[in-house]
Chains A and B, each alone.
Chain A
Amino acid sequence: MTDRLENMALVMPGLLLLGLAFILPVLQMLVLSVSGPDGFTLEHFTRFLSDSYYLGILWRTVRLSALITLITALIGFPLAYIMAKSGPRLRLWLTLIVILPLMTSVVIRTFGWIVLLGRSGMIPSMLRDLGLVGRSFSIIQTESAIVIGMVQVLLPFMTLSVLGVVMSIDGRLEEAARTMGCSFMKTIRTVVLPLSLPGIVAGGLLVFTLSASSFVTPSLLGGSRIQVLAGSIYNAVTQTLEWEFAAAQAVILFVGVALVLVPYLSVAGRRNG
């Protein structure tokens, strides 16, 4: 057997699995999204794209995902840097703490946030007692609640992606920068941050796609009034039973995410040479 055949044989099981479990359903979904009672139709797409309600949902999904990505990067990068610079024992503990949210059930975790953020919850009532906010103040069922809940779940993806890259940066580069006149913060900005960019890009990719397609946390924390696309798809499938419309929304989500990610990746790729 030639090397080429051998390689093909090795990737075959994976390709088969991918084909059966991923590409086939996606194709089926594509077909479903353009089928109506009289065969081919684009009516589901026009319905979505001409309704400002649905366009608002799409815009909210993209906007919140971008915001969540930005916040996880802002928290994740310093966190990863500190983890990279700490000893192996401390790093292990920090890693455990960072991935702890992933080890608890999404429902339990989200109800925890509801307890903390709800109208009579700990944080709003504390803010009310301090006189910082008005009587009717609530965080739950706002976009802020969605962002807070999502950042908590998605932070490990960003942190661990960045950690891998920061760990591989030669510490001597930072020392060299210090001897060339950089303060600590300037070293982070001019040396560590540019070199960590591949990790931040990879983490951002994960966080953005996961938050754009996430459903449970946004619908529990945002409530039915503040819908994201995944929630809207769920409704179309389970409540209104419009599977074709759900499929069209799924395609729009897919294309929307791709439209954001392709320019993002090409810009990031160019910067890394």
Chain B
Amino acid sequence: MSEINLSDIHKSFGKVEVIPGVSFSVERGEFVSLLGPSGCGKTTLLRIVAGLETVSSGRVDIAGTDVTHLPPEKRDIAMMFQSYALLPHLSVAENVRFPLRMRGIGSRDEQNERVKTALDTVQLSHLGDRRARQLSGGQQQRVALARAIVSRPKVLLLDEPLSNLDARLREDMQVELIEIHKNLGLTTLFVTHDQEEALSLSDRIILIKGGRIEQEGTPAHIYAQPSTSFASQFLGSANMLSAVVEDTGSGPMAVLGDGQRLPLALDEAARGAVSLALRQEDLVLSDASDANDGGGLKAKVRARVYLGARNRYVLELAGASLRILTGNDQLFARGDDVSLTIAHERIRVLAP
């Protein structure tokens, strides 16, 4: 049974319709990410589930109950905010106790016990007496998480909770979030604009663009088989090349703007004008003057960005600029002619 169910949600702010009809559901115990660029409506959808935003039309169910017109406090949810939203006039422990006190859960002793357990879970039990604002960003983050799980809500809503942390802390928190999610079996809806975060945390990703669902599926599926050029660019920032597909004797062939040809997988059905999505990590770079160059695409190096473990090259190919990631074994300089190859099953052919 699905724990969260949204059916045909419409939402307008004044004359602007930000959600033009969206339906999706989240199964019990599932971790689902709403992924999209800023302003795509993903946060509005989360706020609709929380009850912080009303719907223009449509229906919201949580745990099989119609909550469309219930205020947030009557919904069995917990929400974690990007800004943490810890109450500055309360201590850390009082912040974590707050939802229990307000919902009237348990006696004072039970509440203490649960606050302690929640703070233990996020490894902050030693800071219970501090004021929220005396903590570092990462610690505040953990307090917010403890506060969200302390009431054991049916549904946990996370609004970009990791985006204010530095890279190292964010990775730690991701691991912690997954563990807590698995241990408590919480149904989690997670909003993010960070594709890596969505890929690493989610059971399922719902990609949102302009208030609509662009594509949904497991991280592996949505990464490997993006159905639109937006999906392929947003997840893994693939390179897009426009081409025309022609049938030759030996199978379908993509002809680029400058006449270069690229063989496609044999079962590729598309014909005519297309967009080719080429992942940065799938492209292999070699020296154009190499004798054993197996008919790769000719391109020119425009820039190299040293990333430590890897190099990113910006290449010019058929009037478009391509970004590719390579190791450190072979270095090219600006202006070098290079040859590009890619396994043809790695090429994703999309509508232009």
What is the interface of chain A, defined by CB distance below 8 A to chain B?
170, 172-173, 175-184, 186, 190-191, 194-195, 272-273
Closest chain B residue, CB of each to CB of A273:
B131
In the complex, chain B residues 78-95 whose Cβ is within 8 Å of any chain A Cβ = 78-79, 81, 83, 85, 87-89
Task: Report whether A183 and B79 are in contact in the complex, using a CB–CB cutoff of 8 Å.
Answer: no
**Interfacial chain A residues near B51, Cβ < 8 Å:** 178-179
Chain B proximity of A193: nearest CB distance (Å): 10
B99 at interface by CB-CB < 8 Å: yes
**13 A-B residue pairings within 8 Å (CB atoms):** A170-B83, A173-B85, A173-B88, A175-B81, A175-B85, A177-B102, A178-B51, A178-B72, A179-B52, A180-B73, A181-B99, A182-B102, A191-B87
Q: Determine the distance from Cα of A39 to Cα of B337 in the docked complex, in whole angstroms.
A: 106
Q: State in angstroms the CA–CA spacing of A175 and B80 once bound together.
A: 11
B147 close to A (CB within 8 Å):
yes
Residue of B nearest to A184 (CB): B71
A179-B50 contact given A190-B102, A273-B131, CB 8 Å threshold: yes
Interface residue B77 (Cβ < 8 Å from any Cβ of A)? yes
From the candidates A170, A183, A191, A195, name the one contacting B73 in the complex (CB within 8 A): A183
Task: Give the residue of B85, B88, B89, B102 whose beta carbon is less than 8 angstroms from that of A186.
Answer: B102
Could you say which residues of chain B place their CB within 8 Å of the CB of A173?
Answer: 85, 87-88
Nearest CB to that of A175 among chain B residues? Answer: B52
Chain B contacts to A: CB under 8 angstroms = 50-52, 71-73, 75, 77-79, 81, 83, 85, 87-89, 98-99, 102-104, 131, 147, 151, 157
Quote the shortest CB–CB distance from A54 to chain B (angstroms): 43
Q: Which of A179, A183, A184 has the most chain B CB atoms closer than 10 A to its own CB?
A: A179
Residues of chain A with a CB closer than 8 A to B87's CB? 173, 176-177, 191
Q: How many Å from the CB of B76 to the closest CB on chain A?
A: 10
Query: Which chain A residue lies CB-closest to B144?
Result: A176
- B287 vs chain A, min Cβ distance (A): 55
In Å, the complex CA distance between A160 and B151 comes to: 38
The distance from the CB of B159 to the nearest CB of chain A, in whole angstroms, is 9
Of the residues B78, B88, B89, contact of A180 by C-beta under 8 Å: B78
In-complex Cβ contact of A181 among B52, B73, B83 (8 A):
B73
For the complex formed, measure the closest distance between the CB of B155 and the CB atoms of chain A, giving whole angstroms. Answer: 10
Q: When the two chains form their complex, are residues A176 and B85 in contact, meaning their CB atoms are under 8 A apart?
A: yes
CA gap between A178 and B102 in the complex, in Å? 10
Determine the distance from Cα of A176 to Cα of B89 in the docked complex, in whole angstroms: 14
The 4 tightest CB contacts between A and B, nearest first, are: A176-B85, A181-B103, A181-B102, A180-B99
A217 CA / B81 CA spacing, docked (Å): 50
A180 and B131 in contact, given A170-B83, A175-B52 (Cβ under 8 angstroms): no
Complex Cα gap A183–B131 (Å):
24
Residues of B within 8 A of A186 (CB): 73, 102
Report the minimal beta-carbon distance from B158 to chain A, rounded to whole angstroms.
12
Which residues of chain B have C-beta atoms less than 8 A from A177's C-beta?
87, 98, 102
Which of these, B79, B104, B131, B151, contacts A176 with CB under 8 Å?
B79
Contacts of A182 in B (CB 8 A): 73, 102
Contact: B102 with A195, CB < 8 Å?
A: no
* Chain A, Cβ-Cβ closest to B102: A181
Q: Chain A residues with Cβ under 8 A from B89's Cβ?
A: 194-195, 272-273
Output the nearest chain B residue to A271 by Cβ-Cβ distance: B89
Given contacts A178-B73, A194-B89, A195-B88, A172 and B99 within 8 Å (CB-CB): no
> A151 → chain B, closest Cβ, in Å?
28
Query: Would you call B52 and A180 a contact (CB within 8 A)?
Result: no
Residues of B within 8 Å of A195, CB to CB, are 88-89
Residue of B nearest to A183 (CB): B73
Say whether, besides A179-B79, A180-B78, A170 and B72 are in contact (CB < 8 Å). no
On whether the beta carbons of A183 and B71 are closer than 8 Å, the reply is yes
- State A175–B99 Cα separation when bound (angstroms): 13
Return chain B residues, CB-CB under 8 Å to A178.
Answer: 51-52, 71-73
Most buried by B among A177, A180, A190: A180
Which of A180, A183, A194 is close to B147, meaning CB atoms less than 8 Å apart?
A: A180
**Cβ contacts under 8 Å, B102 to chain A:** 177, 180-182, 186, 190
| Chain A minimum-CB-distance residue to B53 | A175
- Alpha-carbon separation in the docked complex, A210 to B72 (Å): 43
Which A residues touch B104, using CB under 8 A? 181
**Contact status B103-A176, CB under 8 Å:** no
Question: Are A176 and B88 in contact, with the CB atoms below 8 A?
Answer: no
Listed residue (B75, B81, B89, B99) with the most chain A CB atoms within 10 angstroms of its CB:
B89
* A110–B147 alpha-carbon span in the complex (Å): 54
B91 — nearest CB in chain A belongs to which residue? A273
Bound complex: CA A178 to CA B103 (Å): 11
Beyond known contacts A170-B85, A191-B87: 14 more, CB 8 A cutoff: A175-B72, A176-B81, A177-B87, A178-B51, A178-B52, A179-B51, A180-B98, A180-B99, A180-B147, A181-B73, A181-B99, A186-B73, A186-B102, A272-B89
